[in-house]
Amino acid sequence: MFIPCHRGGDSAAPDFKGFTLLMPAVSVGNVGQLAIDLVISTLDMPKVGYFYTDCLVPMVGNNPYATAEENSTELSINAEVYSLPSKKLVVLQIRSPFIKNKYRPFCETLLSWVKSSKCARVVLLSSSHAYQRDDEQLLGTPLRYLLTPDLEKAVGGHVKELNWKEMEKIAAYPGISDTDKVLHIPGGGITKLLFTESCSEGIQMAVLLKFCSEGDNIPDAFVLVNYLNEWLQLIKSEVSTSNNSTDPSSQWKIPSSWRLLFGNGLPPALF
């Protein structure tokens, strides 16, 4: 599944032992993917390979993190891997939606790669439909987290110090029985499946998500990446997530590809 890039005659595959794997779920508003863009761009992470998979819609495009004319013509595809050994961080960016009925094979292959590459833990950035929240979820912050039992043992205490809010389980049969509670992440794509599989396979995984709606989701991406930064301290930042700050003085570097996030302007010939 993982194919390394061989640059400058270096044929050795990168070593991810003990690294944190950071990745998005393809979910409502593409918030996780936008937040991952900010991480890769800000930390100037080099590409170390890509995922060869038939589970995602094929795509190819220009380098989304181009900084000069010379590197703007490099090609990018639907699932690429970036690494920063100094922070023990490996990032998988997914740029296209899943093909129908391919969620499960992708999750199985991904988790087997996580095990074989000996990554220490997985952090999944996701989002969920704001309009499908229950009464309890309407209160307070729009940010939530989930930890698998194995990660709870390792970092549960630290996460509690951050005063984060765990994703609530909701009644499986509302109005009939409130005793059976289930995890419900509408609009979350592979989030629930990947999390439950990680729980059963003993993989350390955290899910960080934001309730949001489709639209201009750049502010949501800033809020989610600041939330992630509270825990992992990827950059030194003054920005607080408590007031959903998207302060333009934020130290996150916006990638060049965001200039065309909503397409080109209207052609003057229309008027």
Q: pTM here?
A: 0.89
pLDDT band at 8 (very low <50, low <70, confident <90, very high): low
Tokens of 24: 């998005």
Q: Which amino acid is at 5?
A: C
φ/ψ of residue 230, rounded to 5: -55, -35
SS3 21: strand
DSSP conformation letters of 66-135: --SHHHHT-EEESEEEEEEGGGTEEEEEE-SPBPTT-HHHHHHHHHHHHHHTT-SEEEEEEEEEGGG--T
User: CA dist 106 to 13, 124, 187, 224, Å?
Assistant: 22, 14, 18, 24
Q: Does 28 score more than 60 pLDDT? A: yes
Q: Given pLDDT bands bounded at 50, 70 and 90, which one contains residue 224?
A: very high
Domains of the chain (ranges, CATH numbers): 15-45+100-236+248-258 (3.40.50.10900)
pLDDT > 80? residue 17: yes
Tokens of 74: 């490099």
Q: What three-state secondary structure class fits 250?
A: coil
- Summarised one tens digit per residue, pLDDT across range 72-124 is 888 999 999 999 999 999 999 999 999 989 999 999 999 999 999 999 999 99
